[in-house]
Amino acid sequence: MTWTRREFLAEVARTGVFSAQYAEDVLVRLAHHSAAIEGNILTLADTITLLVDERVPVAGTPVRELYEVANHYQALARILSAVADGEPLTTSLVRDLHAALMDHLTHEHGEYKTASNGEYKTASNIVTGASWQPAPPASVPELMRQWADQTEWQTANLDNEALLEAIAGAHIAFERIHPFADGNGRTGRTIIAWQTIRRFGFPAIIQVTQRPAYITMLDTQDTAALTRLLAVSLADEATRRSAT
């Protein structure tokens, strides 16, 4: 793996956003749930073994499954760095998060390779089972620039329910653009974590048990339902944060 637990905790200490204990707690849950929503087979216990104990949880686990989880070391560290430094949401930050999450996971499709990690897609893609089509590659750079500008303004200036509604709407819009060849879901949920840590001091984490409802919300563009899901997540997280 490109990052170790020691490197992650060193960055946590540098930023001062979270305690080491709470940072590892967030890391494990964010990595497990976000990867599992995409079909990753590692359990929560497996994730603890991999990220905290730094051992391969089950012999024979596909390497891809390990990287999908372990890459959250880098992604969460990048979030905490952005929060600590007061960094605004830009397309560069989004691409950094994607590059971290997709380290060692570049796909081969047919006779061509998809865009490099952190780079926008160069070929059309689809979302299996979705009732809509992602934006075409040629439209992505401008759509993402507009999306980042609007989302940054909303994140910085809105409050309370209006803020959560904006975060939900921005997430749905991001997934509709689907700017990358792969890793869009994990990147989008990491952006939610960054937005909520920045404004509330702790993340909204969508759990794998909520996957069916969450996928439906994305497919039907149900911003109101996703707003409620994020509100429940934040309320639960507030209690958890206060206990650490």
86 CB-contact burial (10 Å; exposed 0-12 / middle 13-18 / buried 19+):
exposed
Residue 223 in marked binding region: no
Q: Beta strands 112-113 and 108-109: pairing type?
A: antiparallel
How many angstroms separate the CA atoms of 110 and 37, rounded? 25
User: Which of 33, 72, 98, 178 is an active site residue?
Assistant: 178
3-state secondary structure of 115: coil
Residue 183 in marked binding region: yes
Residue 97 in contact with residue 195, Cβ under 8 Å? no
Helix extents (H) in 102-159: 140-157
Q: Which element (helix H / strand E) includes 108? A: strand 108-109
Residue 211 in marked binding region: no
Examine the residue annotation and report whether 178 is marked as an active-site residue of this protein. yes
Tell me the DSSP string of 20-49. Answer: HHHHHHHHHHHHHHHHHHTT----HHHHHH
Residue 70 in contact with residue 50, Cβ under 8 Å? yes
Q: One-letter amino acid identity for 70?
A: A
Residue 95 in marked binding region: no
Residue 201 in marked binding region: no
The torsion of the CA quartet 188, 192, 202, 41, rounded to 10 degrees, works out to: -30
Residue 184 in marked binding region: yes
CB within 8 Å of 138: residues ≥ 6 apart: none
How many angstroms separate the CA atoms of 219 and 130, rounded? 6
* 178: its two tokens: 């689907």
Feature table: binding site: 182-189
Active site residues: 178
Feature table: binding site for ATP: 182-189
